[in-house]
Amino acid sequence: MKAEIIAVGTELLLGQIANTNAQFLSQKLAEVGINVYYHITVGDNYERMLQVIERAKSRSDLIIFTGGLGPTQDDLTKDVVADHLGHKLVTDEKAMANIRDFFERRGTDMTENNRKQALVIEGSTVFDNDHGMAPGMGITQEGVTYVLLPGPPSEMYPMMENYVMPFLASLGNEHQIFHSRVFRFFGIGESLLEAKLIDLIEEQSNPTIAPYAKEFEVTLRITARATSVEQAERLLRPVEEEIRNRVGEFIYAVGESPLHQVLYEQLLVKQETISFAESCTGGTVSQLLTSVPGASQVYRGGIVCYSNEIKHQWLDVPLEVLETEGAVSETTARLLAENIRQKMGTTYGVSVTGVAGPESSEGKPVGLVYIGIASEKQPTLVKKVQVAGQRRAIIGRVAKNALYYALQQLHCND
Amino acid sequence: MKAEIIAVGTELLLGQIANTNAQFLSQKLAEVGINVYYHITVGDNYERMLQVIERAKSRSDLIIFTGGLGPTQDDLTKDVVADHLGHKLVTDEKAMANIRDFFERRGTDMTENNRKQALVIEGSTVFDNDHGMAPGMGITQEGVTYVLLPGPPSEMYPMMENYVMPFLASLGNEHQIFHSRVFRFFGIGESLLEAKLIDLIEEQSNPTIAPYAKEFEVTLRITARATSVEQAERLLRPVEEEIRNRVGEFIYAVGESPLHQVLYEQLLVKQETISFAESCTGGTVSQLLTSVPGASQVYRGGIVCYSNEIKHQWLDVPLEVLETEGAVSETTARLLAENIRQKMGTTYGVSVTGVAGPESSEGKPVGLVYIGIASEKQPTLVKKVQVAGQRRAIIGRVAKNALYYALQQLHCND
């Protein structure tokens, strides 16, 4: 199947927003083995949209539109696609009720133009919008499937996951579903992971295997197409086993949660708490953990000890240690971790001290970092890590390393 | 002038990366009044690329390509465009020397395929790559201008700024330049700013006026096309004056630096220091300031006081205050700011305490925040702020508010 993604919106052509929708849709399609050949962005203009659609129809089997389903005069996607197909627009009563509800909940009157959002292409499958007003829709004509989705990611992502993926699975075979699993890796780069699995990735078509790198983490998603979850699981199992045989040592979790969320979840299960003493990461580790709603249940606080005085006065690192071994040293990392843990009264204390760059410090190279993990039950662990990149990437990678080693230490205590 | 942006790369179609290049280029072109009508993404495939180029030529005057200039067999952009134009590829000696240098500095041998990167389309203007190996190029034929740029943003952005913008300014008139100025706003949203200036934005073509919203800040860029900087300044001045008349109270700085960088720069100039006591922002304020290289010159450290115990034990907020007025209160914000300043020994102490959500806290609504700014010379300022959005946006906006009010207090002390 050849797919094409058409984003509609002048704000994209003005550079006001990036087309992250195309990336998200491409990932979802790649995961189920549908090849995307083109991304197109076009403005809110009837003639140009029509030309783009005609071109797409001549070369693609699946055309997914995002944007242009709203209530204003600028929103033309449904009109243009309906005209192209020679279909009418009709009111979808369920969508209309949803729109009425939306205004009732807000306590405001529905304006007339909002009725437009309940119009759908006659004969299409309608996708509920659980996070907004404009429904999506899908329709096949002359062997080409057209899918229309709203532009806001908060509406589009869940609609794609919950309604469009099952719709695509059932194309040509209405009893099929997609079923997938995500493995989360640490300590291995995306290219090395891909190299170790390249024969599987290239040979496999069901399940498909798709690696991704995002925010200094690497993940791998395997997706099976089958007639039931049980059948899909039978297809996934041998592939999972082979992946675990080859790179299992780098898997730290299975699922959609990033590292800081996994750490939060596991601390919560164990009813344990954590605190951080951060030097070179400047608050990034705390910021990541507190981005999780409910973080206060496992996190009590932290210190950003950016100067030697603060390391000494607040966390009792002796001046002698700072002068002889330096702030970036195993001893400093150990003392920071032990003392933040003891002073904050938490189960774990995690420290990070290193050189974020761009300049080296204490004669130590950019990217050299010591991470300390103190706990009640285990001797303090200090990891020496050397990471690559510019300042921003170093800080990001080091923060992930700190979260990862904290998680490892949690498991040691099991 | 009608422009079209063509991104080349299968990694985009797989969703491995987002097409942020198209956004960046669209912004740059919008700033100088060049209209972008299409973004296209196509894979590393000769036939499909050729079809896309032929289509683009039939409808656009300016076609900007990104990606596909590298050393591998997949990198086809130059070949396809050269064939389309009926031109040869020739070695650019300056680019070749740059590539040799690159390998010498790394102390590794240049492999044969790297010579390919020095090939350029015969007759084109060559753009130096100051951050990588593959040069860019621009050429006009039959009224259509083709610009080829490398894909990595770290190479493409500076090449666009430094070489392509002057090249575009000189199209049709070789003595023209673009000259621009950025105003940074706080306390006004993008839509209100646009509404207050809409007549100017729509009437003006030289200079152009372009508002942007990014990472919880709003900026406005005015750009003049002229034959000299002096002439451009004469064009910018009355527009700047009108903008200042209408919305000058919301301008906090002029230039490219975001809020945390402006705060860093002004602290550095004054040889002053700052420390943070963060509750609901969980380290975000510290993280922003320490993202600036050299932050240790103005920043000594901070505390993330995520629990009441830490606010009490570490920052001396009386339990009585926490029990009666609450952690989210004017008194707590004031004490946190004063005590972090005094304990860290800094010129300024900044506190943030509020409700990041998703649940309300102490009966106080999500998004309610108190920000305290203590200093040596002024009485402590406490700002009560109510921000909107989901947890992530609340934290981001509140952190920017804290930086903004700290900056204001710096100015009060002048």
pLDDT at A163: 97
Mean pLDDT taken over chain B: 94
Kindly report the nearest CA distance between residue A142 and chain B, in angstroms.
Answer: 23
Would you state the pLDDT for residue A414? 67
pLDDT tens per residue across all 414 residues of chain A? 899 999 999 889 999 899 999 999 999 999 888 999 999 999 999 999 999 999 999 999 999 999 999 888 889 999 999 999 999 999 999 999 999 988 888 788 888 888 899 999 999 999 999 998 999 999 999 999 999 999 999 999 999 999 999 999 988 777 788 999 999 999 998 888 989 999 999 888 899 998 888 888 999 999 999 999 999 999 999 999 999 999 999 999 999 999 999 999 999 999 999 999 999 999 999 999 999 999 999 999 999 999 999 999 999 999 999 999 999 999 999 999 999 999 999 999 999 999 999 999 999 999 999 999 999 889 999 999 999 888 999 999 999 999 999 999 998 876
The verdict on a CB contact (< 8 Å) between A278 and B283 is yes
A38-51 b/e with 16+ CB inside 10 Å = b?
Answer: bbbbbbbbeebbbe
Specify the pLDDT at position A292: 97
Which pTM was predicted?
Answer: 0.88
What confidence tens digit (pLDDT) does each residue in B61-71 have? Answer: 999 999 999 88
Q: Mutate one of A29, A41, A215, A347 to test the B interface: name it (highest B CB count within 10 A).
A: A41
Q: Which residues of A touch B278 (CB under 8 A)?
A: 283
Cβ <8 Å between A304 and B290: yes
Contact partners, residue B205, CB within 8 Å, separation at least 6: B33
Say whether A303 and B299 touch across the interface (CB within 8 A): no
pLDDT tens-place string over residues B149-169: 999 999 999 999 999 999 999
Å between B64 CA and nearest CA of chain A: 13
Whether the Cβ atoms of residue A57 and residue A6 lie closer than 8 Å to each other: no
**Pick the residue with more confidence: B112 or B124?**
B124
DSSP B265-310: HHHHHHT--EEEEESTTTTHHHHHHHTSTTGGGTEEEEEEE-SHHH
In the prediction, which pLDDT does A56 show? 98
Q: Is residue A349 within 8 Å of residue A338, measured between CB atoms? A: yes
List the beta bridge partners of residue B226. B177
pLDDT given at position A191: 83
Distance from CA of B315 to the nearest CA of A (A): 12
Distance CA A364, CA A387 (A): 13
Predicted pLDDT of residue A152: 92
Gap between the Cα atoms of B287 and B88, Å rounded: 51
Contacts of B392 in chain A (CB under 8 A): 291
Is it the case that residue B296 has pLDDT exceeding 90?
Answer: yes
Q: Spell out which residues of chain B touch residue A20, defining contact as CB-CB under 8 Å.
A: 18
Which structural domains are found in chain A, ordered by start?
Answer: 2-171 (3.40.980.10), 177-254 (3.30.70.2860), 259-412 (3.90.950.20)
Q: How far is CA A322 from CA A310, A318, A374, A384, A388, in A?
A: 11, 7, 19, 17, 25
| pLDDT, position A74 | 86
Judge contact between A350 and B283, C-beta under 8 A: no
Helix count and strand count (H, E) for chain A:
15, 17
User: Which among A7, A26, A283 is the nearest to B286, CB-wise?
Assistant: A283
DSSP state of B380: P
In this prediction, residue A22 carries a pLDDT of 98
Partnered with residue A138 across adjacent β-strands are A125, A147
Question: Which candidate from A39, A276, A314 shows the least CB-CB separation from B19?
Answer: A39
Instruction: List the single residue in B with minimal CA-CA distance to A281.
Output: B287
Q: What is the pLDDT of residue A322?
A: 97
- Return d(Cα B231, Cα B224) in angstroms, integer: 9
In single-letter form, the type of residue at position A49 comes to M
C-beta of residue A197 within 8 angstroms of C-beta of residue A246: yes
* Residues of B with Cβ-Cβ distance to A13 under 8 angstroms: 26, 35-39
d(CA B8, CA B52) in angstroms, rounded, equals 10
Q: What are phi and psi of A127, to 5 degrees?
A: -105, 125
Question: Mean pLDDT across the stretch B306-311?
Answer: 96
Nearest to B287 among A55, A283, A293 (CB): A283
Q: Work out the minimum CA distance from B35 to partner chain A, whole angstroms.
A: 8
Q: Please list every residue in chain B whose beta carbon sits closer than 8 Å to the beta carbon of residue A356.
A: 290
B204-220 per-position pLDDT tens digit: 889 999 888 888 899 99
Burial classification of residue A268, based on how many CB atoms lie within 10 Å of its CB (0-12 exposed, 13-18 middle, 19 or more buried):
middle
Q: H or E segment at A224?
A: strand A217-226
The reply to whether residue B15 touches residue A38, judged by beta carbons under 8 angstroms, is no
Other C-beta atoms closer than 10 Å to the C-beta of B158 total 15
Gap from A38 CA to chain B (nearest CA, Å): 5
Contact A185, A222 (CB under 8 A): no
The pLDDT of residue B414 is 67
Q: 3-state class of B218 per DSSP? A: strand
